[in-house]
Amino acid sequence: MRLCRFDDDRLGLVRDDRVLDVSEALEAIPPARWPLPQGDLLIAHLEAVRARADALAKGARSLPLAEVKLKSPVANPSKIIAAPVNYQKHLDESRLDKEINVGQEIKTIDYYGLFLKANSSLVGPGEGVALRFPDRRTDHECELAAVIGKAGSGIPRARALEHVAGYAIGIDMSIRGSEDRSFRKSVDSYAVLGPWLVTADEIEAPDALDLTLRVNGELRQQANTRDLIYDVPKLVAYASEFYTLLPGDIIMTGTPEGVSPVVPGDVIVAEMEGIGGMEIAVRAA
């Protein structure tokens, strides 16, 4: 199932080039009051919402996909976890590019561990990326994103995929510079998630997905998630050694080679096998 959040926080079921408005399915989420539980309520109640959405689909209002504004399919993650330097060829290009390595020796994910992006940086493709520091190099990083469905801590690798609700494309927008990753990659709109959530049952092998990213039609990134140094199960297990993972937590798995700067006016198109594609407009903040 492909679930999207669109326009004024409507819930949509994506089928081919249409969006079926199944917002009534949100009634399957029990009402909550302060203090809200951490994590995303929709993802925490995904099974109930899915069942309602399925039942509603037949009579649902249908809209052309091209005419809706897509927001992040996860609204309230407790955290956005991201993997640094998780493809060998991105490590290689980072070592060669002084604007990326800023004179530091680039090491691997074994050395850095994981990092967090601010939740306030999260947007959907329809909201676009607003460059806050147009005088600083700001790159696209196209990444497979896994969304946690079932809470867990100390999750063994063999059970890791049981904790994944689904997948989306993540764009880890990154200012190049000397600051910590969590700072330079957490500007508002620098975490794009979309175009929708594809539930895990539709992605048999998350570690064998082709991905591409184009800027103004020009191919910049082309890779396959089989080249991840830490694959999805390992990232889930590794993250859960340090953090309790909660429904809606997003794991951006790292970017392959081909990162490059964008400027206001650019249009990014990211596509991933089994998920789909999304277009993101880049503007000045």
Q: Which residue, among 47, 75, 57, 73, has the nearest Cα to 21 in the 3D structure?
A: 57
- Please report how close the Cβ of residue 250 comes to Mn ion at its closest, in angstroms: 12
- Please report how close the Cβ of residue 149 comes to Mn ion at its closest, in angstroms: 22
Output 85 or 160, the one with its CB closest to Mn ion: 85
Q: Which residue, among 15, 25, 76, has the nearest Cα to 46 in the 3D structure?
A: 25
On whether the CB atoms of residues 256 and 244 are closer than 8 A, the answer is: no
Residues 151, 153: Cα–Cα separation, whole Å: 7
Pinpoint the alpha helices (H) of 8-151. Answer: 41-44, 46-57, 88-96, 98-101, 109-112
- Please report how close the Cβ of residue 68 comes to Mn ion at its closest, in angstroms: 27
Q: Which residue, among 247, 162, 194, has the nearest Cα to 2 in the 3D structure?
A: 194
DSSP state of 259: -
* Interface contacts to Mn ion, rule CB under 5 A: 141, 172, 255
- Please report how close the Cβ of residue 229 comes to Mn ion at its closest, in angstroms: 13
- Point out the residue whose Cβ comes nearest to Mn ion: 172
> Can you point out the beta strands (E) in 78-163?
80-82, 115-117, 122-123, 129-131, 138-140, 142-148
On whether the CB atoms of residues 248 and 164 are closer than 8 A, the answer is: no
Output 60 or 280, the one with its CB closest to Mn ion: 280
- Please report how close the Cβ of residue 140 comes to Mn ion at its closest, in angstroms: 10
On whether the CB atoms of residues 274 and 209 are closer than 8 A, the answer is: yes
Output 21 or 93, the one with its CB closest to Mn ion: 93
Output 61 or 226, the one with its CB closest to Mn ion: 226
- Please report how close the Cβ of residue 141 comes to Mn ion at its closest, in angstroms: 4
- Please report how close the Cβ of residue 237 comes to Mn ion at its closest, in angstroms: 19
Output 221 or 255, the one with its CB closest to Mn ion: 255
DSSP state of 114: -
Output 50 or 220, the one with its CB closest to Mn ion: 220
- Matching residue, tokens 């809706």: 68
Output 24 or 97, the one with its CB closest to Mn ion: 97
On whether the CB atoms of residues 81 and 232 are closer than 8 A, the answer is: no
